[in-house]
Structure 1
């Protein structure tokens, strides 16, 4: 069946990962998404890991673009982080930061924000260094393969986190459920799933390109997570405050759940 959407697909048509970071996650004065995509996620993830006692050896991250700010808290609770990416440009951008190479995107504003919230302002370099050392592997994946990292076989993860990726790779409800099922297969029994996304979005813009986004609501994501064998432990929703036509989401949500053994 051919895709009838007039917009490009994130994982099919190429994607400027650096432009995405500049538009949605930077410290530029005109960057409108600080409260929704930076503060909200950092605040809630810190609480999710601490209060939920989520920890272990391996966390697998499947998230949009080359973002890393959602992994600061994770690096305090997991020995190893394995990052999966569908796009070579995203891999190159992320590795540039991990390897501290010239021209890497500046994430100091987010690590400093977390340190400030924890009462340790001024130590953001320690936070970034911890995360760099915890990201053990950045791996190319194919979302359509049964084993997404073929020929590599990943060890079962204690936690899978996915920020905004399901929103942009899913064409419809069936797609969302299918991809979530694949993600959840990376978990060991009793493992934890953390999802971050936005309700009601139909597109997002990067540079001159407009990409597809899947519009869903709270009822759908709750039913889908439970339907895949998870028990929801935490859910927080925030109304949009960003004023921008780059993307048309209405609210953002974070859900943490554990897989029934």
Structure 2
């Protein structure tokens, strides 16, 4: 698929609404339900409900204005801080949190979260619970050693990150450098949860090819080990969708605690 030079999520104009509608919506033609919604939500529900990932402060740094993975987190964490590299994604997320006109609807994912918890009748409560738990939505920049500069955040008990390293890293050295910056926001003993696509190179957003870094499962595991993390849960789901919008082969979900 030749759509001109690839764009970078954090450097070029990013169509945040198109990203949501294409990859995370409840539209009948949305083919990524199993890989982009159900697989992440199932695994986040498992690690948070099992009790081995816990604490008070969670920091999320993810690609796009996604929040569906945080429904399970708000059952555990009182304070959720969301970091966004892209201003449009920042605004889109804030619009949803403040229930403003024109905000993206995440009702289909809050309903799925309630179903996972066996509370299907409490969809609206689940949505409001997450909005209440989110204390800040702030900008970040991986060009800085402290990515939230000049803001200094409390060390998190847990950091969640969906597809952000895939989308901002031009090579594997970049991945290591940016992963280390993320890890500095985490307290010793805290958990890092990563979700990414394996053996991929692009994703289509707004008619443009957006760069994604190509890597495999062993690379991520080695990167975490080098930075002093110990992996305690890993799940891989082979691609279940047929589409030329993205060329990934599988989805990786991995949790690791910061041993040092």
TM-score clears 0.5:
yes
Q: Which residue in the other structure is 1:162 paired with?
A: 161
Instruction: State how far apart, in whole Å, the 1-side matches of 2:136 and 2:33 are.
Output: 28
Q: Which residue in the other structure is 2:53 paired with?
A: 54
Instruction: State how far apart, in whole Å, the 1-side matches of 2:248 and 2:141 are.
Output: 27
Deviation >3 Å, runs of 4+: none
**Aligned 8 A contact 2:233 2:255 in 1:** yes
Matches within 5 A, 1:8-47: 8-47=7-46
Instruction: State how far apart, in whole Å, the 1-side matches of 2:20 and 2:158 are.
Output: 25
Q: TM-score, normalised by structure 2?
A: 0.97
**Aligned 8 A contact 2:166 2:213 in 1:** yes
Deviation sequence 1:156-215 (CA, Å, 0-9, x none): 110111001111111111011110000000011111100000101100011111111101
2:192 is the alignment partner of 1:193: yes
Q: Which residue in the other structure is 1:128 paired with?
A: 127
Q: Which residue in the other structure is 2:176 paired with?
A: 177
Instruction: State how far apart, in whole Å, the 1-side matches of 2:155 and 2:115 are.
Output: 34
Query: Bigger CA drift: 30-39 or 120-129?
Result: 120-129
Q: TM-score, normalised by structure 1?
A: 0.96
Matches within 5 A, 1:54-203: 54-203=53-202
Deviation sequence 1:43-65 (CA, Å, 0-9, x none): 01111112252111210000010
Instruction: State how far apart, in whole Å, the 1-side matches of 2:26 and 2:122 are.
Output: 18
C-alpha RMSD of the superposition? 1.0
Instruction: State how far apart, in whole Å, the 2-side matches of 1:129 and 1:227 are.
Output: 39
Q: Where in structure 1 are there 5+ consecutive unaligned residues?
A: none
Instruction: State how far apart, in whole Å, the 1-side matches of 2:146 and 2:5 are.
Output: 30
Alignment size in residue pairs: 257
Deviation for aligned residue 1:132? 0.1
Q: Which residue in the other structure is 1:242 paired with?
A: 241
SS state of the match for residue 235, structure 1? Answer: strand
Instruction: State how far apart, in whole Å, the 2-side matches of 1:254 and 1:43 are.
Output: 10
SS state of the match for residue 178, structure 1? Answer: helix
Instruction: State how far apart, in whole Å, the 1-side matches of 2:206 and 2:98 are.
Output: 26
2:241 is the alignment partner of 1:232: no
Instruction: State how far apart, in whole Å, the 1-side matches of 2:216 and 2:121 are.
Output: 39
